[in-house]
């Protein structure tokens, strides 16, 4: 692998609602991110396990954590039902 790819830390989480709700805690333990670009690849069905209010709260909480860490999160979702998410994420 290219040297740059060898330095790319990878964190994999289970495709479960609980894993997303604990994402910031898990990232702190595994990566201790500071000033990084984080990429989250998640199937659209995972987001459908959240209510609209739960998604809003998750994004508010995670956004505050990302600001404190100086990080940016890019969310890539794929699969059936993705169009329903346009107004939520």
Q: Look at the alpha carbons of 7, 33, 47, 74 in this order and tell me if their dihedral is positive or negative.
A: negative
Q: Is residue 24 part of a domain?
A: no
pLDDT category at 17 given cuts 50, 70, 90 is very high
Q: How many domains does the chain have?
A: 1
What is the distance between the alpha carbons of residues 23 and 42, in angstroms, rounded to a whole number? 13
Q: Is residue 20 part of a domain?
A: no
Structural domain span for residue 59: 42-82
Q: Is residue 69 part of a domain?
A: yes
80 pLDDT above the threshold of 70: yes
What is the distance between the alpha carbons of residues 56 and 61, in angstroms, rounded to a whole number? 9
Predicted TM-score (pTM) above 0.85 = no
Q: What is the DSSP code (8-state) at residue 15?
A: S
């Amino acid at each position: 692998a290219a040297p740059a790819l060898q330095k790319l830390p990878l964190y994999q989480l289970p495709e479960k609602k609980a894993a997303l709700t604990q994402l910031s805690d898990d990232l702190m333990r595994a990566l201790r991110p500071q000033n990084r670009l984080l990429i989250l690849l998640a199937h659209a069905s995972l987001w459908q396990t959240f209510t609209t209010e739960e998604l809003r709260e998750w994004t508010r909480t995670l956004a505050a954590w990302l600001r404190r860490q100086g990080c940016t999160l890019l969310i890539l979702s794929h699969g059936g039902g993705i169009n329903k998410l346009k107004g939520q994420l």
